[in-house]
Amino acid sequence: MVRRVREKWPNDLQARLEAARLHLLALFRALDQPYFARFRFPQDALLVLFQLDADFAEALAVGNHPLARLNVRAMVADTLASLQRLQAAEKRFLDHLDPAALRPLEQARSALRISLITDDAYHGIPGHVAK
């Protein structure tokens, strides 16, 4: 039996990654609504959120890989560091938004988040088969 990277993770890491991706996916989908087209977004802060999302997606993708030749300890440390940066990165993004966009954005994001399921956290991850 081939051992997988996920077997060497902290017990809650997969759930934390899924939650972070769903949180960001709801934000990105909310920002993509026509209402928000009139607002300017802080591009540098948005880029950081996209990069964090990519980090989380990569970790979820790697979780199913065989253990061979992968430094799981370093990967987990990098992933945990990204998870720790998420709240501050999101705050930085929101702090630079037009105040008129904040409440509608939060309402849209909350409504979208409710509609997302765990499999949505694997959106864009090659090889993932929905349950």
Return the pLDDT at 104.
96
| Residue whose entry in the numeric block shows the structure tokens 């970790």 | 59
Return the pLDDT at 96.
94
| Whole-prediction pTM | 0.91
DSSP string, 22-81: HHHHHHHHHHTSGGGGGS---HHHHHHHHHHHHHHHHHHHHTTSBSTT--HHHHHHHHHH
pLDDT tens digits for the chain (131 residues)?
778 888 888 999 999 999 999 999 999 999 999 999 999 999 999 999 999 999 999 999 988 888 877 788 999 999 999 999 999 999 999 999 999 999 999 999 999 999 999 999 998 888 766 55
Convert 74-102 to b/e letters by CB count within 10 Å (16 or more is b).
ebbeebeebbebbeebbebbbeebeeebe
Reading the block at residue 31, the tokens are: 């920002």
Return the pLDDT at 125.
86
